[in-house]
Structure 1
């Protein structure tokens, strides 16, 4: 599933194409909102919240989308053949006179009143890519996780929003923490969370992910040379792969 850095870059692309512009085409190819008409509204901007996108309009409505596993947003010149968006995989089309934004294989599409955005993102913890992160609120939620494995808590968007399997593995490796250590035994959870935040920020700015352990099963650890291994965090069918160094991140 795309992580917070990917979603933030998608928000930036949508802003560059649509922010401040009036929609001349708006197709919501999603059953629950198929009859909603957004044409004529001006896009105020798009904000990422964890793995969610909120595209706000000047008429008091917000288009909420989520990429899920396979979703993408791409931008094409309005009037071009690719902007026609004929594929059955297209879920949303938003266009102004110059650019067309095409949402393919999106996993969520909703239209809500901007004042009611909490109905779609209110369950999330603070966004680790937010301009100011409420660390105290995250730690309050962290404390409520008790002895759950730390990797599961990092992946729980209700605690802090934005980390997925890549940045969870990389943040744990950076801090030398065993992924299945009880969360309430982690000495400094704020430090761990801020390590993940810094990695997300670097990826947004430079489009380069850490790549120390994730996806490197059986390859040597960049610190000690031990072969990277992979385990599972969470309960099936929601369990996720977690890569780690069995020596640098020993229990």
Structure 2
């Protein structure tokens, strides 16, 4: 599942093969940009902002969001006139960008749009401090979360307007490590600042790893995580059976409720 660390790696890898390079081919496979051709333009920069990815190309910005299933794949430049076989079906491709070094394909992107530079803030200006960005600000993230003290901490952590980069896996793991149920109101969390600092440390620790881990154990699912996806299995700390539920966000009634996992003993509802 793409979270802030995943998008950070995607930006890093795309930057390595596109930044400073001229695009020799460009193919947008969405109706709104089907006629847009950025061939001949130079990719000036590739950046991540929380779970958003921005490519600055010839005065424009290609903005993508991976959502649940999106991914950017990178393939070596074709040799001998033979195209490289993609790892995913062609119908899932939303955009194909080719430089002399590589081909970058955005598959199943949840959002894809092309903006003028002055429009970028309209797309990402609502985001809180970026956990993996150069401007990370713990105090600002804390102030944003505390602005709504009655909101469930599990919803506040997931809200990208408070701090950018936490997805559902980290949300569940942070609540476990903070010893609170996700439904506990922000005002009743005894160690909120510590949870925010821990979020920063976890994403930093995982940003260069191919597989995410929060326990310090092997990067294999049952050993790597404390509670996420482990319903019905014993808690690694107390032995109680981990439970599963769903949690809807009243601020976004059209969004589907998200999964929560928790230990009933380690994470009391207070």
Pick the TM interval, shorter chain.
over 0.9
Cα deviation for residue 194 of structure 1 reads 1.6
Cα deviation for residue 60 of structure 1 reads 2.0
Cα deviation for residue 230 of structure 1 reads 1.4
CA–CA distance in 1 between the matches of 2:181 and 2:66? 29
Match of 2:235 among 206, 209, 221: 221
Task: Summarize the alignment of residues 119-130 of structure 1 with structure 2, pairs less than 5 Å apart.
Answer: 119-130=122-133
1:197 is matched with 200
Cα deviation for residue 78 of structure 1 reads 2.3
Cα deviation for residue 24 of structure 1 reads 0.5
Q: Which moved more, 1:182-191 or 1:43-52?
A: 182-191
TM-score scaled by length of structure 2: 0.87
2:30 is matched with 30
SS across alignment from 1:82: coil
Matching of residue 60 in structure 1 with residue 64 in structure 2: no
Cα deviation for residue 35 of structure 1 reads 2.0
Contact 2:77–2:103 under 8 Å retained in 1: yes
1:209 is matched with 213
SS across alignment from 1:192: helix
Contact 2:9–2:208 under 8 Å retained in 1: no
SS across alignment from 2:139: helix
CA–CA distance in 2 between the matches of 1:147 and 1:221? 28
CA distance change for structure 1 residues 83 and 183 in 2, over 3 Å: closer, same or farther?
same
Deviations 1:121-170 (A, max 9, x none): 11111111113412222222212223111001111111111111100111
CA–CA distance in 2 between the matches of 1:84 and 1:138? 38
Match of 2:248 among 208, 211, 234: 234
Contact 2:92–2:108 under 8 Å retained in 1: yes
Contact 1:213–1:244 under 8 Å retained in 2: yes
SS across alignment from 1:88: helix
Q: What is the number of residues matched between the two proteins?
A: 250
Gaps of 5+ in 2: 215-224
SS across alignment from 1:206: coil
Contact 1:177–1:249 under 8 Å retained in 2: yes
Cα deviation for residue 44 of structure 1 reads 1.9
Q: Which moved more, 1:131-140 or 1:116-125?
A: 131-140
Contact 1:85–1:93 under 8 Å retained in 2: no
1:13 is matched with 13
TM-score scaled by length of structure 1: 0.93
CA distance change for structure 1 residues 83 and 225 in 2, over 3 Å: closer, same or farther?
closer
CA distance change for structure 1 residues 40 and 232 in 2, over 3 Å: closer, same or farther?
same
What is the root-mean-square deviation in Å for CA atoms of aligned residues? 1.8
Matching of residue 92 in structure 1 with residue 91 in structure 2: no
Deviations 1:160-197 (A, max 9, x none): 11111100111111121221110122233221112112
CA–CA distance in 1 between the matches of 2:93 and 2:84? 14
Contact 2:142–2:196 under 8 Å retained in 1: no
SS across alignment from 1:242: strand
2:264 is matched with 246
